Amino acid sequence: MVKIRQVDKTMLDKPKAASGGARALSPKAQARLAQHRQFVRMLTKISDPAAVFEVRLGPDEKALTVRQRLIKAADEAGKEIVVRKSDKGWLVGMATPERRSRRGRRRASATA
């Protein structure tokens, strides 16, 4: 059952100030942020099709999660990349017409 009580109007007019300040990130969140920064640094070094990096997975990392983080970091960095599977992780390089996937819908032509 809910409880209802009448309070002073100042509680509604002047909201409570935020307590404490910003919360500290958890160790997992700090690790994710550090990994994201590492990915962005790596992506800034990809400036031509010859620059290819291999991202090796740790024992506690999931391959698809790392791939999604790579793609998200590339979007934020404004780079168009290709991510391919390798024996120990992922290969990351600049997207070229030969490297792009041919799956899915075709792109609309410029004349249409």
What does the mean pLDDT of the chain come to? 87
Residue 93 backbone class (left: φ over 0; alpha: ψ -120 to 50; beta: rest): beta
Question: What is the pTM (predicted TM-score) of this model?
Answer: 0.71
| Torsion angle of the four alpha carbons 27, 30, 32, 33, in this order, in degrees rounded to the nearest 10 | 180
- If pLDDT is split at 50, 70 and 90, which confidence band does 68 have? very high
Q: pLDDT > 70: what percent of the chain?
A: 91
